Amino acid sequence: MTKNWVLHFFNNLPAFLFIVLVIFLQGCKNAAQPDIRDTTTSGTILISVDETFKPVIDSQIKVFESQFPQAKIIVQYKPEAECLRDLNRDSVRMVIVTRGLSEKEEKILTDTLSYKPSFGTIAFDAIAVITNNRSVDTAFTMEDIRSMVKGTSGYKYKVLLDGLSATSTVRYVVDSLLRGAPLSKNIVAAKNSEAVVDNVSNNPDVIGLVGVSWTGNKDDPQQSSFMQKVKIAAIECNGCQGTYVKPYQANIAMARYPMIRPLYYILKENYEGLGSGFKNFLIYEKGQLIFKRAYLLPARMRFEVRDIQISE
C-alpha cells in the first residue's frame, strides 16, 4: 500500500507543483496591488495637519473623497511641531502647516529620502481675536495685543491660546508678537482651537487667538453656534491710520489686517501618487474655492477687491 501511495504522489507531482506555483503567483499579485492602486485618484495615505485648520481640511477631504471614491485620506490633527516631526515617519506622506522647509530641513529630508520633497503655499490664514459676546471691547491696536501677551497691558483680559508650546499660533505669538521673549503669566492654554472658542464663549475675562477658519464658515452648524456667543474683534489697520478691520478675505488680500500667515503643504512623494493628487486638488479650482468658503485667502486663485459705494 505504501508503494502504491508513493507511485501516486510522483505520478501527480506536476499537478502539485502547478498548484503551488499558482498560489505563489497569486500571493505576489496581491502583495503588489497596493502599489498599483496608489494613483492620483485612488489608494490610501496618511497625512498630518496643524489642528488649527481642522474645519477647512475636513471639508477638503470630504469633497476630495466624494469625487474619488477609491481614495482614502487618513488625517491626524496635531500641533504644528508634531506635524513637522512626522516628516521623519515613513507612513506620513504629507503635512499641512504654516511654514515651509528651511534649507537645512530640506537638505536633511532630501538626504534621507534620496529625493527632494516638494512644498508650496496653498492659502493665507489670519489669526482672529475673539471676545466674549458680553465684552464691551471690540477693537484693539497691535500694541494692545502685544502688551496683553506680555502681561503689561491695562486690559484685565487673560489671553487664551491653543496650547503653550508646539502649536502654530503659539509660534506666531512668540515670533511675531513677543519677538522671542518667553510667554508671560497672562497667557493661558486651552486644549485646542475648539476649546479656545468654547472657553471664550463662556468667560468674559479672556480673549482668544484662533485661526480664522474657526470663525468664518457660516455653513458649519458648530461654528454658527460659537459665533452667537463670541465676537470677532477689529484690529488697527495696516497702512490706513485710524481704521480698524476684521480678518475678512479682502483685508487679508490687501494686507490691511496685521496678523496674517501662509498655509503650506509639504509632500514626500517622487511619483504621481495619491499625495500628488490631493495636493493638486488643494491648489486648483475646487480646493481653492473651499479655502475661500472657509474665509481663508486662496493662494493660487486670483482675488479681486473692488471699492463700492453704498447708499443708505
Go through the domains of the chain in sequence order and give each one's CATH number: 43-124+261-298 (3.40.190.10), 126-260 (3.40.190.10)
DSSP reduced 3-state for 75: strand
Whole-number pLDDT of residue 26: 52
Contacts with 288 (C-beta within 8 Å, 6 or more apart), sequence order:
123, 282, 298, 299, 300, 301
**Model pTM above 0.85:** no
What angle, rounded to 10 degrees, do the helices at 285-293 and 54-67 form? 140
Question: Considering Cα of 114, then 92, then 293, then 160, what sign does the dihedral take?
Answer: negative
C-alpha cell of residue 40: 492620483
d(CA 86, CA 90): 8
**Residues 158, 164: contact at Cβ < 8 Å?**
no
What one-letter code names the amino acid at 6? V
Question: Considering Cα of 145, then 147, then 152, then 153, what sign does the dihedral take?
Answer: negative
Give the bridge partners for 121, in sequence order. Answer: 264
d(CA 137, CA 133): 10
Contacts with 250 (C-beta within 8 Å, 6 or more apart), sequence order:
256, 305
Phi, psi of 292 (to 5 degrees): -60, -45
Whole-number pLDDT of residue 263: 97
Relative to beta strand 92-97, strand 43-50 is parallel
| Nearest-5° Cα angle at 184, 144 to 96 | 85
Write out the chain's pLDDT in tens, 312 residues: 545 544 454 455 455 444 444 444 454 444 334 444 899 999 999 999 999 999 999 999 999 999 999 999 999 999 999 999 999 999 999 999 999 999 999 999 999 999 999 999 999 999 999 999 999 999 999 999 999 999 999 999 999 999 888 899 999 999 999 998 888 999 999 999 989 999 999 999 999 999 998 886 666 666 566 667 799 999 999 988 889 999 999 999 999 999 999 999 999 999 999 999 999 999 999 999 999 999 999 998 765 555 555 454
Length of the chain: 312
